[in-house]
Amino acid sequence: LKLASGGTDYSQGLTILVDDMNGNLPLNPTKQDVAFGEQANGDIHKRNLYTWLGAIAHVYYQYNLDKCNNRKGLLTSKLKKFEEPLTDLSRLKSLDASDFTMFHSIPWKQFQSSGNIRISSRKALKVIEGKDTMRRIEMSA
């Protein structure tokens, strides 16, 4: 996903789950990975999908890091408070019926040298908090 692996921007530490709700991705027989070779132009599809997943993951990481005054240690300590798994499964809805936090008006830019897509201005980002988002990082003073 071309996410940073060190420094303050340790977005590579994120776990990314992709829900193929409508079954559009060609999966391998174990359904644990996407089988891009099974479709025409699969390599291009793979690069595009991973580039956009990396871009979205980076926005999410930076959004939460900004809430911690750009301090990775503070973000880590806040995340440790979420170590307990969610046990009340009755609160969980299907993904397509859920109202999760949404990011709008993301001004994207692409870096020609790496092919990465990143947000060009986090100040322009519009965030609408979803009522079904169960884990939130609060803004630090």
pLDDT digits (tens, 9 = 90+) for 5-44: 766 666 777 777 777 778 888 888 887 788 887 778 888 8
Q: How many domains does the chain have?
A: 1
Task: Tell me what pLDDT residue 14 has.
Answer: 76
Q: Give the pLDDT mean for 86-95.
A: 77
**Domain assignment of residue 59, given as a range:** 11-128
Is residue 22 assigned to a domain? yes
Residue 106 lies in a domain: yes
pLDDT for 89: 75
Q: Give domain status of residue 17, yes or no.
A: yes
Residue 78 has φ and ψ, to the nearest 5°, of -70, -35
Residue pair 16/1 in contact (Cβ under 8 Å)? The answer is yes
Residue 72 has pLDDT above 70, yes or no: yes
| 137 located within any domain | no
Question: What is the reported pLDDT for 93?
Answer: 84
Residue 102 lies inside a defined structural domain of this protein: yes
Answer yes or no: is 5 within a domain.
no
